[in-house]
Structure 1
């Protein structure tokens, strides 16, 4: 297993090559940085392996990377929703967003949901440009506790929220 961990550190933190016009001092700084990062990763993998000898380091790292990938995809969806639904005076163009993300135009168009728009409206406390989705009544701090944004914002078709005085439950 130790050999696998060392191989993973070499694979995930690749060796640096010196560019033709790169100063020797800059190159040595990059090599030092790469060595530091490789040692950090090696230590992290060895610690995980010693904590749970049955856990396979390859599968553990793949699982960690998959979670990071989901988080990044979530952030991209939220940024696309913000760029298309909240930026004023006009939204970013689909083509620009597609080029920036490496997605197709139709991929950008479908990358976010009304839940994402509601989440953003609640966080920035502003309705979307179309005026169809308004901020949720709960505070932004409370909405961070949710893994997925709620679609319980006051959309234009929703009934007005009850006040605490008028509700008995």
Structure 2
């Protein structure tokens, strides 16, 4: 397992390439820094592998990265929901958001849902510009649309 973690660290943190005008001192410092980062990563991989059900450093790292990816995707959804539904006087343009997020316009348009809008409303403490969602207050287990269409509460999932 030690060999796998060391090689995986080399894959993730390769030896730095020497710059054309880089001094020997600066290059050695970057090589040393990369070595320290690899050693730290080896320790993290060994601990993650020991804590995982499979005790496999490759799979443990993939699980960690997948969790980070999900968190980043959640943050993107919340930011886009905020930019499209809460910013005044007018929302951010789809094209600008798509370019910034590295997505297509059609993906940006549909990346967030009502639950994301409610999360944003709750965190900033106000309803959206279109008056479709209110922030959840206190220990509410239900939410009402800002403009009641049916008069029914919708339970949280």
TM-score in terms of structure 1 length: 0.77
What is the distance in 1 between the residues matched to 2:121 and 2:40?
Answer: 39
| Rounded Cα–Cα distance in structure 2 between residues aligned with 1:78 and 1:116 | 6
The count of aligned residue pairs is 152
Structure 2 match to 1:127: 127
Task: Report the secondary structure of 2:136's partner residue.
Answer: coil
List per-residue Cα deviations over 1:55-85 (Å, max 9, x = no partner). Answer: 1111111111111111111111111111111
Aligned residue number for residue 3 of structure 1: 3
Q: In the alignment, is the contact (CA less than 8 A) between 2:121 and 2:127 conserved in 1? A: yes
Distance (Å, rounded) in 2 between the aligned partners of 1:127 and 1:51 = 42
CA distance in 1, matches of 2:13, 2:24: 21
Tell me how far 1:154 sits from its aligned partner.
Answer: 4.0
Tell me the residue number matched to 1:75.
Answer: 75
Q: Residues 58 and 129 of structure 1: is their aligned pair in 2 closer, same or farther, counting only changes over 3 Å?
A: same
Change (3 A) 1:152 1:32: farther
How has the CA–CA distance of structure 1 residues 99 and 51 changed in structure 2, closer, same or farther, with 3 Å as cutoff? closer
Q: What's 2:104 paired with?
A: 104
Change beyond 3 A, Cα 1:92–1:50: closer
Distance 1:93 1:117 in 2: 17
Structure 2 gap segments, 5+ residues each: none
TM-score, L = length of structure 2 = 0.82
1-structure distance, mates of 2:49, 2:131: 52
Q: Distance in 2 between matches of 1:153 and 1:23?
A: 64
Contact 2:5-2:46 at 8 Å conserved across structures = yes
Task: Give runs of aligned pairs for residues 19-168 of structure 1, distance below 5 A.
Answer: 19-22=19-22, 26-50=26-50, 55-138=55-138, 152-157=143-148, 159=151
CA separation in 2, counterparts of 1:72 and 1:52? 22
- Show CA shifts across 1:87-109 (max 9, x none): 12211110011111110000000
Cα distance change of structure 1 residues 124 and 54 upon mapping to structure 2, 3 Å threshold: closer
Distance 1:64 1:116 in 2: 23
